[in-house]
Amino acid sequence: MAASIGIASGVSVVLLLGTVFLLLLCVHLSWEVSPLEEETRTLAEDMALIRTERECSDDQR
């Protein structure tokens, strides 16, 4: 297989494929994590608002 694509050693093909796989895996995981970061930020903001509202209502009593 290596000779058919112009690479001298089969080990080089395995290393190249492994590197490409890991690169694609990193891109995929970054793609999946981005929405989770936004959701976490939104939830933290909501919690802060709820906590502030609760503290204000406790102060009024």
The answer to whether the predicted template modeling score (pTM) of the entire model surpasses 0.75 is: no
Q: What is the predicted pLDDT for the residue at 42?
A: 95
Query: What are the CA-CA distances from residue 11 to residues 2, 22, 30, 53 (Å)?
Result: 9, 16, 29, 63
Domains of the chain by residue range: 3-60
Q: What is the predicted pLDDT for the residue at 44?
A: 97
pLDDT digits 0-9 by tens, 22-54: 999 999 999 999 889 999 999 999 999 999 999
Please compute the mean of the pLDDT values over residues 5-16 and round it to a whole number. Answer: 84
Q: What is the predicted pLDDT for the residue at 1?
A: 63
- The answer to whether 43 touches 35, Cβ cutoff 8 Å, is no
Q: In b/e form, how buried is each residue of 26-46, taking b as 16+ CB within 10 angstroms? A: eeeeeeeeeeeeeeeeeeeee
